[in-house]
């Protein structure tokens, strides 16, 4: 089987590139031939369309794309492919359901004029143009052979919003690296970990406030619990109009009296990710859903960081944003209402009072990790591709 993969790939530094890279390698180990016809064009939708028009697609059995993360090149390539080849099997993993891409490459005239005007006029123009974007997304979605989501909640949301047939849908959970299990560290001090890109909107302030409240209510916890903030701090994400987000976090940590309770591990090399996660007891992901995206739909994706927790055999405390509730519904953690600092503080207090929970969650995560190793995940994709090529719609 010869598949064309449309996706960002390493060394690009984002979660979808990592996902696509692991999937590509795992499929190749199963004997699937993979081509990457859009390699090197970045996220340029017009260049993607030009490549589709110029490339000879003979010998390609199926085209698979990774959609999400604000990228548009793959979406435009799929649209151009369906226009050019009515019967070519097209599949995609949709990382940010209930939509495919959430935005157009450009606003239609006269709304395009607002793009150069002060805020909030560009945002208003985006909302006003959304019916056109949604129409284009539905056209592409309905022309796809299969659409894969990482969770059942994401699948249901995508199917309903795009108006799809059940036969077009498939759920394949996020694949995991096959990481050797490692026992939990001693339960005291309890080591909590935030892992992921560090930028505004991830709810990190909620986590700091909740930890401060927890310690304020039980001062003895100051010596018994530590929090590590680890992950990427790319300048374009960590800096913004209001200055350095990292500096803001450090200032907030000082104001909350947490300076002695926080560790930092920024920009971890890939080989240090698993050892860092396994040096902790529980991952905490306090994400909040974007208030801007709420105007356009419900984001029902999951998290690469959460898949790392599973792969490393560690439980998680997460907000109920996205599809996180489904991901920790296997006995591998607990959820709290997003943005509810008191509820997060109570969850942390519960864990501190019952540290054996970390061991229970870790055992369940380790079992889940065995089911989701990339070799098994790739086999599920291979079977899906075979059905798509057979025309089993």
In terms of Cβ atoms closer than 10 Å to its own Cβ (0-12, 13-18, 19+), residue 90 is: buried
The distance of Cα 227 from the centroid of its chain, to the nearest Å, equals 22
Q: Which domain holds residue 129?
A: 2-175+373-389
Q: Do residues 194 and 319 both lie within one domain?
A: yes
Co-location of 154 and 294 in the same domain: no
Is residue 181 one of the residues assigned to a domain? no
- Give me the pLDDT at residue 253, please: 97
Residues 14 and 94 in one domain: yes
Q: What is d(CA 63, CA 81) in angstroms, rounded to the nearest whole number?
A: 9
- In angstroms, the CA 139 to CA 340 distance is 38
Query: Do 338 and 320 touch, CB atoms closer than 8 A?
Result: yes
Nearest to 37 by CA among 49, 23, 16, 51: 51
Same domain membership, residue 272 and residue 209: yes
Alpha carbon distance 24, 9 (integer Å) = 9
47: in domain: yes
Q: What's the pLDDT at 15?
A: 87
Structure confidence by residue, pLDDT tens digits, 131-188: 999 999 999 999 999 999 999 999 999 999 999 999 999 999 999 999 999 999 999 9
Burial of 207-232, coded b for 16+ CB within 10 Å and e otherwise, reads: bbbbbbbbbeeeeebbeebbbbbbbb
Q: For residue 85, which of 56, 65, 105 has the smallest C-alpha distance?
A: 56
Residue 184 lies in a domain: no
Q: What is the pLDDT of residues 270-323, one digit of tens each?
A: 899 999 999 999 999 999 988 778 889 999 999 899 999 999 999 999 999 999
Same domain? 226 vs 115: no
* Same structural domain, 224 and 360: yes
244 inside domain: yes
Q: Is there a domain that residue 51 lies in? A: yes
The reply to whether 182 falls in a domain is no
Tokens read off for 249? 């976090």
Q: Which two tokens stand for residue 298?
A: 């419900």
CATH of the domain at 350: 3.40.50.2000
Domain count, the chain: 2
Q: Are 367 and 385 within one domain?
A: no
In a domain, 159, yes or no: yes
Residue 294 inside a domain? The answer is yes
The pLDDT tens digits along the chain (393 residues) read: 999 999 999 998 788 999 999 999 999 999 999 999 999 999 999 999 999 999 989 999 999 999 998 899 999 999 999 999 999 999 999 999 999 999 999 988 888 888 778 888 888 888 899 999 999 999 999 999 999 999 999 999 999 999 999 999 999 999 999 999 999 999 999 999 999 988 888 999 999 999 999 999 999 999 999 999 998 876 444 334 456 889 999 999 999 999 999 999 998 888 999 999 999 999 999 999 887 788 899 999 998 999 999 999 999 999 999 999 999 999 999 999 999 999 999 999 999 999 999 999 999 999 999 999 999 999 999 999 999 999 754
| Residues in contact with 215: Cβ distance below 8 Å, sequence separation at least 6, in sequence order | 221, 222, 225, 257, 258, 261
> Is the same domain home to 130 and 241?
no
């Amino acid at each position: 089987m010869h598949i064309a993969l449309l996706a960002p790939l390493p060394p690009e530094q984002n979660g979808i590139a990592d996902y696509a890279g692991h999937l590509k390698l795992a499929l190749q180990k199963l004997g699937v031939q993979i081509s990457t016809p859009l390699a090197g064009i970045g996220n340029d939708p017009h260049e993607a369309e030009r490549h589709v028009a110029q490339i000879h697609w003979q010998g390609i059995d199926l085209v698979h794309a990774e959609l999400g993360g604000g990228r548009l090149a793959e979406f435009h390539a799929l649209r151009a492919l369906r226009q050019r080849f009515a019967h070519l099997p097209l599949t995609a993993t949709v990382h940010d359901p209930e939509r495919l891409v959430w935005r157009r490459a450009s606003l239609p005239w006269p709304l395009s004029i607002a793009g150069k005007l002060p805020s909030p006029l560009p945002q208003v123009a985006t909302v006003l143009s959304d019916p056109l974007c949604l129409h284009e997304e539905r056209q592409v979605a309905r022309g796809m052979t299969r659409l894969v989501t990482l969770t059942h909640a994401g699948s249901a949301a995508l199917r309903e919003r795009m108006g799809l047939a059940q036969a077009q849908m498939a759920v394949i959970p996020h694949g995991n690296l096959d990481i050797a299990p490692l026992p939990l560290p001693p339960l005291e001090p309890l080591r909590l970990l935030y892992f992921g890109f560090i930028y505004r909107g991830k709810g990190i302030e909620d986590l700091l406030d909740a930890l401060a409240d927890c310690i304020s209510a039980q001062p003895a916890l100051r010596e018994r619990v530590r929090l590590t903030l680890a992950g990427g701090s790319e300048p374009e994400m960590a800096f913004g109009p209001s200055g350095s987000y990292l500096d803001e976090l450090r200032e907030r940590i000082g104001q909350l009296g947490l300076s002695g309770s926080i560790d930092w591990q920024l920009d971890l090399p890939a080989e240090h990710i698993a050892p860092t996660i396994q040096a902790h007891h529980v991952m905490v992901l306090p994400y909040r859903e974007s208030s801007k995206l709420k105007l356009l739909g419900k984001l029902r994706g999951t998290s690469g960081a959460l898949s790392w927790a599973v792969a490393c055999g560690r439980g998680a405390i997460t907000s109920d944003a996205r599809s996180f509730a489904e991901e920790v519904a296997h006995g591998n953690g607990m959820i709290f209402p997003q943005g509810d600092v008191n509820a997060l503080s109570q969850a942390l207090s519960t864990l501190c009072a019952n540290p054996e929970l970390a061991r229970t969650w870790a055992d369940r995560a380790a079992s889940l990790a065995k089911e989701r190793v990339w070799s098994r995940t790739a086999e599920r994709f291979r079977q899906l591709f075979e059905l798509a090529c057979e025309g089993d719609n």
